[in-house]
């Protein structure tokens, strides 16, 4: 029997967070006195639809937030602007300063994969220019390999978008998860190579490589949840969180060749992304132990039409 999926909006917890009786840790809200998990923060399909609209080639860690907060009538409807401002306000009220990439939840829902596909296209356009600015670190064969892997990833994301039309979509989800594991390993290796290069890093090139890794890992986890392989999804998410901690915890403003404010923003965003990744296993374990079917959970998030962010109640 499937436990009822109990969602609330983040505003319901805002007063308690500000008072300190609830503490935000990554994607979790914990009771300040007992340490018990009270709720998990999760994007809905509305959030991913809005992010797809807002993308427009922005690449920095705060690009989407800045763009939406400054939006006029343009390509956004009044409802979209209101919803995005509401999402950003919710993140800020829960002590998130940035949106980042896959910062809060799992990136699930069909709209989430549409957003991921657009994000990969934007990265593909920008990273080609950036590689020329760090040519000494990226020999021609390395550039070619990176482009090839990016093309493979975009193809995998397209496949998972089309999977619901199959008679047994879970088979495709598992195939994509396995293939995306190899892609994530490649991007992780490229990022490690870039970090170890002599001298300070080009902050934007670093950020593009980091996004490739994070997006690949998000797809891996999402596909396992869609196929209801929750135990494996939890194990993957635990490994991903530890990988981010190993890669990012030693970085500081001094690691980047950039304006001090840009370096500080990237390092802060990386800390938040790492915290969110380290807390994802708790959400997945809650789904598993409460016998909440992964695909049904995603379906509930997809069906949300009003709130970009939701809180999954634990108690």
pLDDT at 181 over 60: yes
* Comparison of pLDDT for 213 and 138, the residue scoring more: 213
Please name the helix (run of DSSP H) or strand (run of DSSP E) that holds residue 38, with its range, or none: strand 37-43
Distance CA 83, CA 75 (A): 14
Question: What tens digit of pLDDT does each residue of 226-252 get?
Answer: 999 999 999 999 999 999 999 999 999
Secondary structure class of 42 (helix, strand, coil):
strand
pLDDT for res 283? 92
Domain boundaries, the chain: 7-313
pLDDT for res 231? 97
Identify any residues that bridge with 25 across adjacent strands, giving them in sequence order. 28
Q: What are phi and psi of 304, to 5 degrees?
A: -65, 130
- Beta strands per DSSP E along 140-244: 201-202
The answer to whether 83 and 97 have CB atoms below 8 angstroms apart is no
Distance CA 177, CA 206 (A): 25
* Comparison of pLDDT for 294 and 73, the residue scoring more: 294
What's the N-to-C CA distance of the chain in angstroms?
18
pLDDT at 278 over 80: yes
**Range 182-194 average pLDDT:** 92
Share of the chain above pLDDT 70, in %: 68
* Comparison of pLDDT for 98 and 209, the residue scoring more: 209
- What number of other Cβ atoms are within 10 A of residue 83's Cβ? 21
User: Ranked by mean pLDDT, which of 44-48, 134-138, 148-152 comes out on top?
Assistant: 148-152
Question: What tens digit of pLDDT does each residue of 280-290 get?
Answer: 999 999 999 99
pLDDT at 189 over 70: yes
Distance CA 301, CA 311 (A): 11
Please name the helix (run of DSSP H) or strand (run of DSSP E) that holds residue 258, with its range, or none: none
* Comparison of pLDDT for 231 and 83, the residue scoring more: 231
- Beta strands per DSSP E along the chain: 7-8, 22-25, 28-31, 37-43, 201-202, 256-257, 309-313
Q: Is the dihedral of CA 19, 24, 28, 30 positive or negative?
A: negative
Residue 142 pLDDT level (bands cut at 50, 70, 90): confident
Identify any residues that bridge with 24 across adjacent strands, giving them in sequence order. 29
């Amino acid at each position: 029997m499937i436990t009822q999926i109990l969602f609330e909006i983040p505003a319901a917890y805002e007063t308690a967070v500000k008072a300190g009786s609830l503490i935000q840790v990554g994607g979790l809200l914990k009771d300040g006195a007992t340490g018990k998990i009270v709720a998990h923060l999760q994007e809905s399909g509305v959030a991913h639809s809005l992010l797809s609209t807002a993308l427009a080639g922005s690449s920095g860690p705060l690009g989407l937030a800045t763009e939406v907060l400054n939006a006029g009538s343009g390509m956004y409807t009044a409802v979209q602007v209101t919803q995005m401002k509401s999402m950003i306000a919710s993140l800020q009220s829960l002590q998130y300063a940035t949106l980042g990439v896959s910062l809060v939840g799992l990136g699930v829902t069909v709209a989430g994969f549409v957003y991921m596909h657009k994000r990969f296209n934007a990265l593909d356009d920008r990273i080609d220019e950036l590689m020329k600015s760090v040519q000494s670190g990226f020999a021609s064969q390395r550039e070619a390999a990176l482009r090839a892997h990016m093309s493979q990833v975009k193809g995998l994301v397209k496949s998972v978008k089309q999977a619901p039309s199959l008679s047994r979509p879970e088979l495709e989800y598992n195939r994509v998860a396995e293939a995306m594991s190899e892609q994530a390993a490649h991007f992780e290796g490229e990022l490690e190579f870039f970090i170890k290069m002599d001298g300070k890093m080009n902050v934007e090139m670093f950020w593009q490589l980091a996004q490739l890794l994070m997006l690949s890992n998000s797809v891996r986890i999402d596909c396992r949840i869609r196929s209801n392989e929750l135990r494996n999804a939890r194990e993957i998410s635990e490994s991903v969180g530890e990988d981010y901690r190993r890669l990012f915890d030693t970085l500081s403003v001094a690691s980047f060749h950039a304006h001090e404010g840009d370096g500080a923003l990237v390092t802060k965003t990386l800390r938040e992304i790492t915290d969110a990744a380290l807390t994802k296993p708790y959400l997945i374990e809650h789904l598993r132990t409460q016998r909440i079917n992964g695909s049904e959970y995603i379906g509930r998030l997809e069906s949300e039409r009003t709130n970009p962010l939701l809180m999954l109640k634990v108690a």
